[in-house]
Amino acid sequence: MIWLAGAALLAWLYLALLHGRFWQSGPVLAAARPAAAPAVAVVVPARDEAALVGPVLRSLLAQDYAGDLGVVLVDDGSGDGTGEVARALGDARLVVLEGAARPPGWAGKLWAVQQGFAATAAPWLLLTDADIVHAPAHLATLMAEAERSGADMVSEMVALNCSSAAERALIPAFVYFFQLLYPFAWVNRPASRVAAAAGGTLLIRRAALEAIGGIAAIRGALIDDVALAVAVKRQGRRIWLGHSALARSVRPYPSAGDIWRMVARSAYVQLRHSLLLLAATTLGLGLIYLVPPLAALAGQGAARLCGLLAWAVMAATLLPTLRRFCLSPLRAPLLPLVAVFYMAATIGAAIDHHRGRGVVWKRRAYTEFQA
C-alpha cells in the first residue's frame, strides 16, 4: 500500500504542477470586436433536433457581426420535423438542406458538415452543433481571437447544462477530464504537439480546412473535433481552445443513464478500440483516483499520509471547475466516485463494441469508425 499510495501522490504532484495547469478554469474570451469582419458561413448539422433547433438558429441569425453571415442547416435524416422547424423561421439568410444518404466510411455528423461546407463559399466557417445557443457577441468574439492570435481555428468548450442531480454530479467532471486529456495551454502553444478542439463552436479558416483535404480527411472520425484540430495543427497552423462565456448547450441530460450513453459513444473510440489500452487506462485511473481514498481510509502510517495528500491535491484540482459550474466545493472529494462512473462507462462501451453492438446515437449505429 505504501508504494501504491506514494506512486499516486507523485502522479498527482506531477498533474497539478507540470501537466499544463490543466485544472485552471480558463482561458475565457471576453466579448470583443475584430478590426475586420470577413464573411462567415455557419454550418449546423442537425438530426432529430426539433425541440432545440429553433432557439439555436434564432441566436445565430441574431449575431451582432459586421460582416456577411449566412447559416446552413443540414437536416441529417431527422424523423421529428427538424427541417420544418428551421424553415418556419422564414429568414433569407438561412438555407435548409435535406441531407443526402450517407456514403460508406462517413460518420453521420461529418457527412452533414461536408454537405454544408460544399454549399458555401465564405472564407470562414463556424461549425456549431444544433443544441448550442449563442450570445449576440459570440461570432465577433471568436473572429477577434482569430485575428489577435493569428489562429486558423478557434474553438470553445461551451457552458453545459448543469441543472439535474445527475448533471450536477457528473457533468463538471466531463469538462475536467477533457482538460486533463488536452491541457488547453498545450493546445494553444504552437510548439506543442497536443491538439484538440471543442466541436460545439468551432471557427475555422476555409483555406486551413482545404489544406488538410477538407472534411473528407477526417470523414470516419467519431471524435471529429479533436481529429480536425490534429489535422490542422500538423499543417503547422495555429489553433486556439478555451472556455466560452458566450455560448451554452441547451441539451439536457436528466439522468445518469443519459450521461452514460453520452460518454460511452466516444470513450472506447478514444482508446482506438484497443483492449490493451483499455487495460492500461483502467489500471492508471485506478492508481490515480482509487488508491488515494483507499489508502487514506484503510492504510496506516506513511501510506495513509500519502493517500490523504494525494486525495487533497486531487480534490483541489477540481475546485476551479466546480466554481465554473457554481457548485459547492464539498463535491470535490467525491471525484473518485465520479471517476468510477466514467471508468464503468468506458468498460461498458468496450463490451458493447466487442459484442458487435458498436456505438448507437440518435437512431444510428456505428461499428467501423475511429477516433
| 204 shares a domain with 348 | no
Supply the range of the domain harboring residue 287: 2-21+257-360
In a domain, 244, yes or no: yes
| 281 shares a domain with 204 | no
Domain boundary among 252, 267, 299: 252
| 221 shares a domain with 172 | yes
Domain boundary among 195, 225, 252: 252
In a domain, 368, yes or no: no
pLDDT band at 165 (very low <50, low <70, confident <90, very high): very high
Task: Check pLDDT > 80 for residue 287.
Answer: yes
In a domain, 72, yes or no: yes
| 235 shares a domain with 261 | no
> Which CATH number do you get for residue 215?
3.90.550.10
| 273 shares a domain with 138 | no
| 242 shares a domain with 155 | yes
How many distinct structural domains can be found in the chain? 2
Domain boundary among 200, 229, 252: 252
Query: pLDDT per residue over 9-51, tens digit each?
Result: 999 999 999 999 999 978 999 999 999 999 999 999 999 999 9
Length of the chain: 371
| 307 shares a domain with 294 | yes
3-class secondary structure, 240:
strand
Q: Which residues contact 202 (CB under 8 A, 6 or more apart)?
A: 126, 127, 128, 153, 154, 155, 225, 228
Cell of 368: 467501423
In a domain, 241, yes or no: yes
| 101 shares a domain with 240 | yes
Q: Which residues contact 133 (CB under 8 A, 6 or more apart)?
A: 55, 56, 59, 247, 248, 249, 250
pLDDT at 187: 97
| 139 shares a domain with 9 | no
Residues of the chain with pLDDT > 90: what percent? 90
| 122 shares a domain with 103 | yes
Measured distance CA(27)–CA(21) in Å, rounded: 11
- 132, 53 Cβ separation under 8 angstroms: no
pLDDT at 361: 58
| 287 shares a domain with 335 | yes
Task: Check pLDDT > 90 for residue 272.
Answer: no
In a domain, 109, yes or no: yes
| 100 shares a domain with 201 | yes
Query: pLDDT per residue over 256-265, tens digit each?
Result: 999 999 999 8
pLDDT at 327: 98
In a domain, 310, yes or no: yes
In a domain, 370, yes or no: no
In a domain, 30, yes or no: no
Task: Check pLDDT > 80 for residue 223.
Answer: yes
